[in-house]
Amino acid sequence: MLVLVINAGSSSLKYQLLDTKTRKVFAKGNCERIGIDGSFIGHEENGGEKQKLEVALPNHEVAVKHVFQILKDADIDANKIGGIGHRVVQGGWYFPESKVVTDETLGWVREVAPLAPLHNYAEADVIDICHRMFPNIGNVIVTDTAFHYNMPEKAYRYALPRDVVDKFHIRKYGAHGTSHRYIWRETSKFLNGDVHQLVSCHLGSGASLCAIQDGHSMDTTMGLTPLDGLIMGTRCGTIDPATVCYLEREGHYTVDQVDTMMNKQSGLLALSGVSSDSRDIEKGAAEGNKNCQMALEMFYYRTSQLIAEMAQSMHGFDTMVFTAGIGENSDTMRKGIVDQLAWFGVKLDDRKNAVRSDDPRIISADDSSVKVLVVPTNEELMIALDVEELLSK
């Protein structure tokens, strides 16, 4: 099935048109600076060179129209598209799995939007636009939280007063669920089913771990929002929650200032003082920059600690997988993390770790206590497969 996958943000709209059978990507791109001066679309076709199309994008509706016009210009008429998959960041208490778009399911995306205001409102608007513009094409909602919805209560419940938790729907929702689900699927296929307790390490500019037992999420490091857990590009990850009260009381910061600080000005960026991009930090560390060296040391320390936490939630693990920007590309950072787990017998084969490839591969030594793999993630394909499955029913 030919599926258009859409990932809308407050001022951007990423799209990818792919075939579920062959996995071929026909076109992909990003509408950037929607509603802001200097908007443009970066577009690629059939793996060719990226073109920059400078167009006015006053709102998401105009952006969607441009995307369909671009596809039409590439000879891909809307009626060849079998379905549209929408990535939704927060599914709240309504999406234990992906669902076909109806007035009711679209309403749910809006209802839970206060939990992810920067994403869900824009996503709901774009779903509505596609639903109205192309009534003959099925639309499907695929949320980042669905995979974690059925994790055990002891893992998702917060130790706050029950009435507060119930009133505000506070729990661990997690994120990156589509990626973790894909990683389980691909790893299981690659190892011919010989995997039961997997720690999936999605390390990109946003980063999370997931404990997956026989295909089910048992725990994950992100929480009510994606701020929790690992040290990320610009997010602080887990800190004492009283820090927020302290900054507001003693530092006179507003809620929004603390929110921005913890989401956009912290993490590797704050630690290194150089960049949020791990490549710049690796380079800085190699050149002797002490702050970059400490940023890496802390990243390895926290990530390995939380890997152990994920393993503990399953009472063991047989496999761990690295994925996303850092996980797929940085042999240095993979080694930095795995070296912290040497006490437990986890060991890389340095030669295998250095290999660059777009295919799943084992990088652990033969005598490692746990298999370590690199498996490239593909959230768009996972979304497209859900679209195909739901619309073929």
Q: Does 279 bind ligand ADP (CB under 6 A)?
A: yes
The site map against ligand ADP for 189-228 (x = CB under 6 A) is ---------------xxx----------------------
Closest CA to 181 of 95, 116, 277: 95
- What's the burial of 291, exposed, middle or buried (CB within 10 Å: 0-12/13-18/19+)? middle
The site map against ligand ADP for 226-255 (x = CB under 6 A) is -------x----------------------
Query: Which CB atom, from 44 or from 277, has the smaller least distance to ligand ADP?
Result: 277
Task: Tell me if 163 sits within 8 A of 50, measured CB to CB.
Answer: no
Give the integer Cα–Cα distance in Å for 213 and 201. 14
Distance in Å, CB of 167 to ligand ADP, minimum = 32
Query: Which CB atom, from 314 or from 372, has the smaller least distance to ligand ADP?
Result: 372
Distance in Å, CB of 281 to ligand ADP, minimum = 8
Query: Which CB atom, from 257 or from 330, has the smaller least distance to ligand ADP?
Result: 330
Strand duo 51-53 + 40-45: pairing? antiparallel
Query: Which CB atom, from 9 or from 138, has the smaller least distance to ligand ADP?
Result: 9
Among 217, 278, 319, 378, which residue sits at the site for ligand ADP (rule: CB under 6 A)?
278
Distance in Å, CB of 202 to ligand ADP, minimum = 8
Query: Which CB atom, from 68 or from 147, has the smaller least distance to ligand ADP?
Result: 147
Edge-to-edge strand ranges of the sheet holding 25-32: 51-53, 40-45, 25-32, 13-19, 2-8, 83-88, 138-143, 99-100
Q: Which of residues 61-100 bind ligand ADP (CB under 6 A)?
A: none
Whether 144 is a known active-site residue: answer yes
Give the integer Cα–Cα distance in Å for 63 and 350. 46
Q: Which of residues 304-343 bind ligand ADP (CB under 6 A)?
A: 324-326, 329-330
Task: Tell me if 92 sits within 8 A of 169, measured CB to CB.
Answer: yes
The single residue of 19, 37, 125, 144 carrying the catalytic annotation is: 144
Q: Which two tokens stand for residue 160?
A: 């706050």
Distance in Å, CB of 212 to ligand ADP, minimum = 19
Give the integer Cα–Cα distance in Å for 15 and 373. 29
Give the integer Cα–Cα distance in Å for 266 and 244. 13
Closest CA to 259 of 225, 301, 217: 225
Distance in Å, CB of 279 to ligand ADP, minimum = 5
What residues line the site for ligand ADP (CB under 6 A)? 204-206, 233, 277-279, 324-326, 329-330
* Residues recognised as catalytic: 144
